[in-house]
């Protein structure tokens, strides 16, 4: 794909600029659709929050945001296009489903008794990448895949195989969710063995691990990694801290992997369904869980570790442009 699908038209890789590889304007855990009586879609409030997120990202030079929300978790082509039209931000949306325990597993599990669901999932992805989503002309720009803690389940494997085929036929980028820093090497291996282009794959949530050997087992396969949960740190999220993650980036850059690393927060700007009650303790734990953290903490933190401006810019600008080229 020489041209990249954003939700309001195509751009070239050179037009991407600073890019966040994994955020969520809207996100709801599967099932939120069933709580619509008390947790319906609040158009005005959500619009305000998402426009604010765009402005917060733009304040440190971001001009492209990849929205990683999967189909059943509230991906909303119409709404994302509205936000892009209102703000001028390049927003790239996904096609795909989340990992088994937190996805709409029941639907596909039921269908597989009646149809070749790998073929059906391929058709879904292919149509959303090339024709449009839900009858609109908004096209997905990436495939989003996910696997479970310490395993790729048989259902998840069907999605990976369908995605590899859709990648081959469209040239699109694949981004992934790994659960708590597990299965990164296996995800890359599965996609590549199914014929996907390693140069178009970004294994996600790799900042869930501080094990350099684990990172190298992924990077040596020629794929990218997304260090994309900055701000979601520590105990509550079962993850390393942001400081530890920055140390990992510095080590990997020193080992020569600086052209294979990209950044994001996995921020959720709107929780779909009923609003969440934020206790003071939760507020404290979530204080950096927003789209500002890379600008505020990570860029200065990497500089403090001795990374050059060019090395830091590569993570935000050159590497996203390269994977989308």
Q: Residues interacting with Zn ion, by CB under 5 A?
A: 68, 266
Identity of the residue, 91 or 253, whose beta carbon is nearer to Zn ion in the bound complex: 91
Sign of CA dihedral 274, 275, 281, 284: positive
Taking the complex as a whole, the smallest distance from the CB of residue 64 to Zn ion amounts, in Å, to 17
- Which residue's CB comes closest to Zn ion? 266
| Shortest CB 305 distance to Zn ion, Å | 26
When the beta carbons of 21 and 117 are compared against Zn ion, the nearer one is 21
Look at residue 144 and give its three-state secondary structure.
strand
Tell me the closest approach of the beta carbon of residue 298 to Zn ion, in angstroms. Answer: 17
In angstroms, what is the minimal distance from the CB of 266 to Zn ion?
Answer: 4
The angle that helices 184-193 and 212-219 make with each other, rounded to 10 degrees, is: 10
Ramachandran class of 142: left when φ > 0, alpha when ψ lies in -120 to 50, beta otherwise? beta
> Of 68 and 307, which has the nearer Cβ to Zn ion?
68
Comparing CB distances to Zn ion, the nearer of 170 and 269 is 269
Looking at the Cβ atoms of 253 and 298, the one nearer to Zn ion is: 298
Which residues have CB under 8 Å from 188's CB, separation 6+? 198, 201, 203, 218, 221, 223
Q: Please compute, for residue 131, the number of CA atoms within 13 A of its CA located in the half-sphere on the CB side.
A: 7
How far apart are the C-alpha atoms of 315 and 20, rounded to whole Å? 9
Query: Residue 54 Cβ, how far from Zn ion at the closest point, in Å?
Result: 18
In whole angstroms, give the CA distance from residue 155 to residue 148: 11
């Amino acid at each position: 794909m020489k041209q990249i699908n954003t939700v309001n038209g195509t751009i070239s890789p050179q037009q991407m600029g600073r890019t966040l590889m994994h955020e969520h304007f809207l996100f709801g855990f599967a099932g939120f659709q069933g709580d619509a009586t008390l947790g319906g879609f609040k158009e005005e409030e959500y619009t305000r929050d998402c426009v604010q997120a765009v402005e917060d990202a733009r304040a440190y030079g971001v001009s492209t945001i990849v929205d990683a929300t999967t189909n059943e978790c509230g991906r909303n082509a119409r709404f994302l296009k509205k936000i892009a039209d209102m703000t001028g931000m390049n927003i790239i949306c996904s096609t795909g489903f989340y990992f088994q325990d937190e996805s709409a597993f029941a639907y596909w599990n039921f269908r597989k008794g009646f149809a070749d669901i790998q073929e059906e999932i391929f058709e879904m992805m292919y149509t959303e990448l090339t024709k449009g989503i839900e009858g609109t002309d908004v096209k997905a720009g990436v495939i989003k895949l996910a696997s479970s803690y310490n395993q790729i389940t048989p259902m998840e494997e069907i999605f990976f195989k369908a995605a590899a085929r859709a990648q081959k036929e469209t040239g699109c980028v694949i981004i992934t969710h790994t659960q708590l820093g597990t299965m990164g090497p296996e995800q890359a291996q599965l996609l590549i063995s199914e014929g996907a282009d390693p140069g178009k794959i970004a294994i996600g949530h790799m900042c869930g691990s501080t094990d350099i050997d684990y990172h190298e087992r992924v990077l040596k396969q020629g794929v990218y990694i997304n260090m994309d949960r900055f701000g979601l740190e520590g105990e509550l999220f079962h993850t390393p801290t942001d400081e530890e993650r920055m140390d990992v980036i510095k080590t990997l850059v020193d080992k020569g992997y600086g052209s294979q690393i990209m950044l994001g927060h996995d921020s959720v700007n709107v929780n779909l369904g009923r609003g969440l009650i934020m206790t003071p303790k939760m507020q404290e734990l979530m204080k950096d869980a927003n789209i500002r953290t890379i600008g505020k903490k990570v860029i200065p933190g990497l500089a403090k570790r001795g990374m050059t401006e060019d090395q830091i810019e590569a993570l935000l600008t050159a590497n996203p442009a390269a994977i989308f080229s």
